[in-house]
Amino acid sequence: MLKKNIAFITSILLLFISCGETKEKKQQSSKKQILTIETDSLASKAIKKKEVEEPFLLTEENAIDFFFDYEKTLKKNKVRLTTSLGSFTIELYDNVPYHRANFIYLTRQNYFDNTMFHRVVKNFIIQGGNSDNRDTSKKRSKIGRYLLPPDAKKGHKHHRGVISMPSGEIDNPHKLASPFEFFIVVTKPGSYHLDGNYTPFGRVIEGMSVVDKINNVAVDKGDWPMQNVYILKAEVL
């Protein structure tokens, strides 16, 4: 009888030990699963964070494709520039897609805000989109480095009030356009010797008197205004 009782008690103890081991294994397995899920979640967050931290930059390789697609989304073609001497409105041409898309894109990126009309040639042009402060350089580096191909055969001439793009560099036989700068013709009735070499991409439709006012400011020998003329804000209408 005693042997039977001992055998029974032993079997009960073994059962409890077995159950304890099974429960512990389940808990360990559950912890591993939770750890795996948490690790996967952290990895996913790290990837997303990396994607956020890598901003899109325009380059010589991707700019044309980007503006080709971007232009298809545009439904507006007017931009107002508010300067330290007043405001004027530009209407952009539809058939110069890359230059139109570029100007609107930069406007929406707030690039032109707080830049200057850095070159003023009497009775000829006012040129804007640059400045001598570091903020402008920083904004350019965040947007990217690229040039635009000329698009000078769409029938647009450099009449008075036309906005066009200057060439990007001195050693630039193909007249590739500097995307960050622009000039507006002041000459009456126009500066037609520029036709074929630069790309007209819009015209001033309101506030030409402000453009004339900017053209009349005092300048130094390098055509830089003696008193800075700021573009305070550019906005798509």
Q: In terms of residue numbers, what domain contains 7?
A: 1-54
Task: Choose the weakest-confidence range: 35-44, 163-172, 206-215.
Answer: 35-44
Domain boundary among 35, 54, 73: 54
Question: What mean pLDDT do residues 136-155 have?
Answer: 92
DSSP conformation letters of the chain? -HHHHHHHHHHHHHHHHHHHHHHHHHHHHHHHHHHHHHHHHHHHHHHHHHHHHS---B-TTTHHHHHHHHHHT----EEEEEETTEEEEEEE-TT-HHHHHHHHHHHHTT-STTEEEEEEETTTEEEEEE-SSHHHHHHHHHHB---B-----SS---BTTEEEE-BS-SS-TT--B-TT-EEEE-SSSB-GGGBTTBEEEEEEEE-HHHHHHHHTS-B-TTS-BSS--EEEEEEE-
- Mark whether 25 and 142 lie in a shared domain: no
pLDDT of 139 reads 94
Residue 45 banded pLDDT, cuts 50, 70, 90: low
Structural domains counted in the chain = 2
pTM of the model: 0.76
Q: Are residues 206 and 119 in the same domain?
A: yes
Average pLDDT, integer, range 190-209: 96
Residues 3, 70 within the same domain? no
Confidence of residue 2 (pLDDT cuts 50, 70, 90): very low
The dihedral through the CA atoms of 175, 179, 181, 186 has a sign that is: positive
Rounded CA-CA distance 222/210 in Å is 22
Same domain, 223 and 165: yes
Instruction: Kindly state the average pLDDT of the residues 33-38.
Output: 57
Average pLDDT over the chain reads 85
CB 106 within 8 A of CB 78: no
CATH number at residue 165: 2.40.100.10
63-86: pLDDT as tens digits: 999 999 999 999 999 999 999 999
195 and 122 in a single domain? The answer is yes
